[in-house]
A and B are shown apart, each in its own frame.
Chain A
């Protein structure tokens, strides 16, 4: 049982380029989330999904897109990368409804946009 896995661990992106951050969970969780964490700050919710085929915006969705074609996978797409998107990105999943259950986090992807 690997839990939540994320790839890549670290990436340098040029301004204007696009990329997809991968997230997979093997716990059969309904809910999945993408957060970004800037230095010294808490987690900001980018997008979340309550099940396959259903996604919704969080606090800071601009510049990002997501899809949820399967229960296991929840990729995050960055279009036209900007320096403001330099951050650590965490994917998380949980089983229960209404966010009442513990979120399990992946190890994070450190992204640098230059």
Chain B
């Protein structure tokens, strides 16, 4: 089975940096996704990590440590529009299946 843990809620200030953590336990690991979901909308892709290390994409970066079962999403220069839920999803070795965490709701305040 799989167990994925993320903080339920986080609050940060506009212009600041925030790190959202995700820890997982899985019987087979084949990669980790981060998705962003605004209230009332569908999730949209942010990043995908399969190898250890940091992947940077503009204001967003994602880090993975396979040995520690740990990932984080780093958001820099926060904007009000970054207020959303951030979902961590672990891909297991069964083809085509991802397991999602419950998401972290980020509120960005002025």
Interface residues of A, Cβ cutoff 8 Å to B: 31, 33, 35, 40-45, 48, 50, 58-59, 90, 94, 97-100, 102-108
Contacts and interface: CB of A to CB of B under 8 A. Distances in A.
A38 to B, nearest CB: 10
Interface of B: 4, 8, 30-31, 33, 41-45, 48, 50, 87, 89, 91-93, 95-103
A93 to B, nearest CB: 10
B100 A42 contact: yes
A43 B97 contact: no
Nearest to B92: A99
Given A42-B100, A100-B91, A90 B43 contact: yes
From B42, B89, B92, residue with most partner A Cβ within 10 Å? B42
24 contacts: A31-B96, A33-B96, A35-B100, A42-B4, A43-B87, A48-B96, A59-B99, A90-B42, A90-B43, A94-B96, A97-B96, A98-B30, A98-B91, A98-B93, A99-B92, A99-B95, A99-B96, A99-B97, A100-B50, A102-B48, A103-B33, A105-B44, A107-B41, A107-B42
Contact of A42 (B33, B42, B87, B92): B87
B36 to A, nearest CB: 11
B102 A45 contact: no
A111 B85 CA distance: 21
Nearest to B31: A100
Overall SS of chain B's interface: loop
A90 B43 CA distance: 9
Contacts of A106: 42
B1 to A, nearest CB: 10
